[in-house]
Amino acid sequence: MDDLELTMAIQGLSSTSGSEGGGCNMRDLDMNRPASGPEEEFPAGSEEEEGGDGDGDGDGGNRPKKLRLSREQSLLLEESFRLNQTLNPKQKETLASKLRLRQRQVEVWFQNRRARTKLKQTEMECEYLKRCFGLLTEENRRLQREVEELRGLRVAPPTVLSPVTRRPMPASAFTMCPRCQRLSMAAAPPSAAA
DNA sequence: AAAGTCAAGTTGGGAT
DNA sequence: ATCCCAACTTGACTTT
C-alpha cells in the first residue's frame, strides 16, 4: 500500500530527471516507464497491446524487470474488481486499453487478486474457527467438571426392610404407582421358595 | 540480511 | 484443440 504511494511519487516526477544519472536513488529507476517513450497517463508496462500478448518480454532471455503498477492503475483495477471479480474478454480488453497494459497483465492481476482475496478469507475463517475451538474447549471442560460433581453427589438407593423378615427387600419388590408416582410394595409372590 | 509483497511463469484440470 | 482458472512457484523489489 505504501509502496503504491512511492510509485505514485515516482510517476508524478517530471520527466526531466536524467534516468541514467550516476547518483540516482533506487526509486528513481522507474521500470514502468517505456524505454524512451513520452510520459503518458499510465506507464506502459507492455510494449504494444495487440501484437505480442504471448510473453512479450523481448530481453535477451533474462526475466524482465518487475512491473509496479501506478496508484491510478491500482485504483482502477480495484474498482473493476469490486464490480466483478472475473472479467470477460471484452471487459479485459477495455480495461487493458484504459490502463495501457497488456490484456495478459490485467488477467494476471485479477488472478492474483482473487488469490489474495481467497487467502484473506481463509485466514479469517481460520481465526474464527480457532476462537470457536477455544470456546468449545472451555465449555467442554466446564461440562466435564459438572459431570464429575454430579457423580460425586450420587446417592445409594433406599434400603427398605421387610416388615416380616427384617431383611432388606429387593427393588423388584416395589412398583411405582402410575398415578401418584410413589413406590408401593408389589403383591407378594405366591410362595416364592421353600 | 531476512521477511514480506506482488507481477509473472508453470502446471494441471475442467469446460466448450 | 483451445481457453480459462486455480494453485503453486519464481524472482524482482521493498520494508523492517
CATH code for the domain in which residue A125 is found: 1.10.10.60
C1' of B14 to CA of A166 (Å): 84
Give pLDDT, residue A88: 87
Domain membership of residue A131 (yes or no) is: yes
| pLDDT value at residue A145 | 97
Residues 112-151 of A with CB under 7 A from strand C: 112, 114-115, 118
Q: What is the pLDDT of residue A164?
A: 79
Nucleotide nearest to A7 (CA to C1'): C14
Judge whether residue A26 contacts strand B, using its CB and a 7 Å cut-off.
Answer: no
DSSP class of residue A58 equals -
Per DSSP, helices labelled H in A36-190 are 71-83, 89-99, 103-153
A4: in domain: no
- Which pLDDT score, from 0 to 100, does residue A183 have? 62
CA of A147 to C1' of C4 (A): 57
Please report whether residue A94 resides in a domain. yes
Q: Any residues with CB less than 8 A from the CB of A69 and at least 6 apart, and which?
A: A4, A7, A32, A45, A77, A109
Q: Is residue A24 in a domain?
A: no
| Whole-number pLDDT of residue A122 | 83
Could you check: is the Cβ of residue A107 within 7 Å of any atom of nucleic acid strand C? yes
Residue A32 located in a structural domain: no
Q: In Å, what is the CA distance from A34 to each residue of A25, A31, A45, A46, A73?
A: 19, 7, 7, 8, 16
pLDDT at A125: 85
Does the residue A37 lie in any domain? no
pLDDT number for residue A166: 79
**Protein footprint on strand B: which nucleotides are under 7 Å from a CB?**
5-10
Domain total in chain A: 1
Q: Which has the closest alpha carbon to A3: A91, A93, A67, A64? A: A67
> In this predicted structure, what is the pLDDT of residue A64?
67
A137 assigned to some structural domain:
yes
pLDDT averaged per 10 residues in sequence order, chain A, 194 residues: 30 30 34 37 43 36 73 88 86 88 89 87 85 96 96 78 78 69 58 39
What residue has cell string 497488456? A102
Inside any domain, residue A51: no
Q: Which domain holds residue A75?
A: 71-152
